[in-house]
Amino acid sequence: MSKKLYQIIGKILDVPASEINDESSPETIENWDSFNSLMLADELESEFNVSFTLEEIIDSANVAAIKKHLKNHGVSLDD
C-alpha cells in the first residue's frame, strides 16, 4: 500500500513516485505548498476512504507523518 501512497503523492506534487520516501517533506519537494497539502489530504481521503482531522492535516509535515495518520485510521501500509 505504500506504493499506492507514493503514487498519489507523486501525482499531486508532480514528482516521480520513486523519489518519495519517509523523509520527503515541503522542504525537499518544491511543489509541496500549502494548497497542495490541502489537495493531497483531499485525494488521500477519497482514495483510502478515510477522513482526517484538521490537526492531522496540519501535522503532516512529511511522508512519515502522513503514514502515521493513515495507520491511525486503520489503513495498512506494510506490504
Partner 1 sequence: MSLNTHKLSYYISKAKSSNGSKFDKKIRIALLSSFTINGLEETLRVLCFQNKIDCKTYVGNYNQYNQEILNKDSKLYKFKPDITVLIFDTRNFLGDLFFSPYAISSKKRGDFVNNKTVEIQELVNTFSKNSESKLIISNLAIPTYSPYGIYEAKADFGLQTMVTKFNENLIQFSKNNQSIYLYNFNQFVTKYGEQNVFDYKQYFLGDVKISTNYIPSFANELMGYVKPTLGLNKKCIVLDLDNTLWGGIVGEDGYNGISLGDTPSGKAFVEFQKILLSLHQRGIILAINSKNNPVDAMEVIKNHPNMILREENFACIKINWNDKLSNMQEIANELNIGLESIVFFDDDPMNRELIRSTIPEVLTPELSKDPSQFPLVLLNLNDFDVLKITGEDSKRGEMYQQQRKRTELSQKTKNLDDFLNQLDIKVKIKTASEFTLPRISQLTLKTNQFNLTTKRYQEEEIRNFINSPDKVVACAQVTDKFGDNGITGVYIINKDSNEEWSIDTMLLSCRIMGRGVEEGMLDHIIQEARNVGVTRIKANYIPTKKNKPVENFLPDFGFKKENDLWYYYVDDKVKKPKHIEMIVEK
Contacts to partner 1 by CB under 8 A:
11-12, 14, 34-35, 37-39, 41-43, 52, 54, 57-58
Closer residue to partner 1 in complex, CB, 24/56? 56
Closer residue to partner 1 in complex, CB, 26/78? 26
Distance CA 75, CA 29 (A): 24
How far is residue 45 CA from its own chain's centroid?
A: 10
As measured in angstroms, the least distance from the Cβ of 28 to partner 1 is 20
As measured in angstroms, the least distance from the Cβ of 22 to partner 1 is 22
